[in-house]
Amino acid sequence: MQFAITGQKLIASCNYLFEGKKAFAGNLFGRNPAKKTLYERYLRGLLIKRLSEWGIRRIFGFPGDGINGIMGALERAEKSDHKIEFVQVRHEEMAAFMACGHAKFTGEVGVCLATSGPGAIHLLNGLYDAKMDHQPVVAIVGQSSRQAMGGSYQQEVDLISLFKDVAGEYVHQASHPAQIRHLVDRALRIAKAERTVTCIIIPNDLQEVKAIEEPAHLHNTIHSGVGHVTPRILPKEKDLQRAADILNAGQRVAILIGAGAKHAADEVIDIADTLGAGVAKALLGKAVLPDELPFVTGSIGLLGTKPSWDMMMDCDTLFMIGTSFPYSEFLPKEGQAKCVQIDIDQRMLSLRYPADVPLNGDAAETLRALLPLLKRKEDRSWREKIEKEIVRWWKVLEARAMINAEPLNPQRVF
Amino acid sequence: MASLSGNLATMGPGVPYAIAAKFAYQERVVIALVGDGAMQMNGINGLITISKYWPQWKDPRLIVLVLNNRDLNQVTWEQRIMSGDPKFEGSQDLPDFPFARYAEMLGLKGIGLDHPDAVAGAWETALNADRPTVIEARTDPQVPPLPPHITLEQARHFMSSVLKGDPERGGMIRQSFKEMAETFLPHKT
């Protein structure tokens, strides 16, 4: 949006020119601006530098005058070591979806950028998508100038309250330049550690002030650092043994996998083979194993397969791996089956079906630790029955897709 | 790799996820499967973003398959099966939108698909294209999404939507019967 230039903006514009001249002078004297990073003398530049140090290489967003400072820094950083690619969307919701998609497909933190007021509000649905699918996403949003805040100013929205739910783990608004370093560090670290959405709000005038890259070593100063290391999460030995006892005692084991099994494909195949089990897949687990495997019953739920349904209705042991599949009517009735569940998030354990042994751990690591404790099922009849039903189901699917419809049967297109 | 909006289950992540995937893995082919409702909600604005960036992608192939049945079909079937109501045309009918032609206007490839014999060819063309492609499949809204196990209540609701005068009852009974026949008596092996 266009506004008349205020005094504040005039100062900002002067800063802009000043920065440019300094950079130009740097070039004239043969200094490499990539090394002598002048743009980061301002808070907006330090923001980009710090994000870059965290490994951020791409930001999805849409401009607005609440974040023009940040846009200016992105432009200046293009020729530096801290270059971050900016992907321009049509609507901020798309930027949040893209940040979520980036996190889902790369495992990295996704970052989206929006202006104050309407831009920030547009992000919300995409951010909730990331939060609810446990993806690390950082939203950076602009805010009215500090001197206008509380003045019912144009585009002034209570952004801390707005983001309090979706970014409840960490949402902060900067009010002092010394904060920017630890706000970035914490937003990134908490997004990664909690696999959730965090948010930094930066008033537009603050973007233009001189950066404080290293606060004075005094009372009330924060000294944070860059970097996050994913820990190894494994259940205790005795709990793995309890889980193994249940899985060894079961005669008809049904495995249900979700997004949490993403890096555990080989382990799931080995475990299913050892236990003589079939494997059903919740939607987010669809890409974990190919449907062509003879023991994979495919999707589950209202649009799921009959082999998945039959397996769940007839099993005596349910083994859930990295899934929060919500539709309980497609799972066994309480009491029908003993249950072992693995999840990286303790809060998601024993939530959809009461777990006899809820294991908090990384799926692949936990399955690898569990495998030596399991006995191979000698009786393969349960697995054979499942595989036979799967063969039949593929014929049903093909026959359904071949039914004529007007003009195209949707099942035929895939 | 594949994903969708699992827990929020929102409409509209297909095209933006595909764009994010393409930026992250430019050498791979990315495919988005999207309904006409989601395309009208935000997908077509995503096509504008694709038209802006595809010339800089190492491999320009990104395919958006749109199932265009002019109906918010999943919720239409939920109205019938979960609630026992006939389809409410006021909320469910979608205006027709020329997705393939729109793609062409943006400089992408657009393929209209309205015959079963053309399905394989459409995919082949899209997978060999020198730019992103929108395949617009004209699909039948009366093909029922059959659950794996039909409860008595679901069957009763289906009948109730028919008895209450669903505007598409003729076609949907015919298609449902055919699906059921193929489920219980598949004649192909």
Write down the domain spans for chain B.
Answer: 14-184
Q: Do B67 and A105 touch (CB under 8 A)?
A: no
- A141-189 tens-digit pLDDT: 999 999 999 999 999 999 999 999 999 999 999 999 999 999 999 999 9
Give the model's pLDDT for residue B141: 94
CATH, domain range B14-184: 3.40.50.970
Q: Residue B182: which pLDDT band, with cuts at 50, 70 and 90?
A: confident
Question: Is 80 exceeded by the pLDDT of residue A33?
Answer: no
Q: Which two tokens stand for residue A317?
A: 């042991």
Give the model's pLDDT for residue A37: 57
- A51-74 tens-digit pLDDT: 999 999 999 999 999 999 999 999
Which chain B residue is nearest to residue A95, measuring alpha carbons? B16
Residue A110 at interface with chain B, using a CB cutoff of 8 Å: yes
pTM above 0.90, yes or no: yes
CA distance A245 to chain B (A): 32
Q: Which two tokens stand for residue A15?
A: 């800063």
Question: Is 80 exceeded by the pLDDT of residue B20?
Answer: yes
Tell me which chain B residues have a C-beta less than 8 angstroms from the C-beta of A308. Answer: 148
Give the model's pLDDT for residue B152: 79
Interface test with chain A among B3, B113, B142, by most A beta carbons within 10 Å: B3
CA distance B107 to chain A (A): 17
CA distance A170 to A366: 30
- The radius of gyration of chain B's CA atoms, rounded to the nearest angstrom, is 19
- B79-137 tens-digit pLDDT: 888 888 899 999 999 999 999 999 999 999 999 999 999 999 999 999 999 999 999 99
Q: How many residues are recorded in chain A?
A: 414
Q: Residue A32: which pLDDT band, with cuts at 50, 70 and 90?
A: very low
CA distance B171 to chain A (A): 9
Question: Is 60 exceeded by the pLDDT of residue A20?
Answer: no
CA distance B7 to A371: 30
Task: Using alpha carbons, list the distances in angstroms from residue A111 to A101, A160, B49.
Answer: 11, 18, 18
Interface test with chain A among B140, B168, B179, B189, by most A beta carbons within 10 Å: B140
Residues A181, A224 contacting (CB under 8 angstroms): yes
Q: Which of B11, B141, B136 is nearest to B73 (CA)?
A: B141
Residue A107 at interface with chain B, using a CB cutoff of 8 Å: no
Cβ within 8 Å of residue A372, ≥6 positions away: none
Interface test with chain B among A57, A60, A62, A105, by most B beta carbons within 10 Å: A105
Q: Residue B157: which pLDDT band, with cuts at 50, 70 and 90?
A: confident
What is chain B's mean pLDDT, rounded? 92
CA distance A127 to B16: 13
Q: Is the previous residue joined to A136 through a cis bond, with omega within 30 degrees of 0?
A: no
Q: Do B140 and A396 touch (CB under 8 A)?
A: no
Q: Do B147 and A94 touch (CB under 8 A)?
A: no
Q: Do A133 and B189 touch (CB under 8 A)?
A: no
Q: Where are the beta strands (DSSP E) in A214-303?
A: 253-257, 278-281, 296-299
CA distance A201 to B69: 42
Question: Is 70 exceeded by the pLDDT of residue A12?
Answer: no
- Pick from A282, A404, A408: which is nearest to B113 by CB? A408
- The radius of gyration of chain A's CA atoms, rounded to the nearest angstrom, is 27
- ipTM over the 0.95 cut-off: no
Give the model's pLDDT for residue A40: 76
Start-end of H helices in chain B: 14-24, 36-38, 44-53, 73-81, 89-92, 99-105, 119-127, 152-163, 169-184
Give the model's pLDDT for residue A184: 98
Tell me which chain B residues have a C-beta less than 8 angstroms from the C-beta of A128. Answer: 8, 10
Considering only A4-13, A79-88, A361-370, A390-399, which range has the smallest mean pLDDT?
Answer: A4-13
Residues A233, A362 contacting (CB under 8 angstroms): yes
CA distance A97 to A48: 21
Tell me which chain B residues have a C-beta less than 8 angstroms from the C-beta of A110. Answer: 20
Task: Using alpha carbons, list the distances in angstroms from residue A251 to A75, A378, A386, B127.
Answer: 63, 10, 13, 46
Compare A219 and A34 and report the one with higher pLDDT.
Answer: A219
- Pick from B25, B42, B179: which is nearest to A93 by CB? B42
CA distance A60 to B23: 11
- Pick from A98, A132, A306: which is nearest to B20 by CB? A98
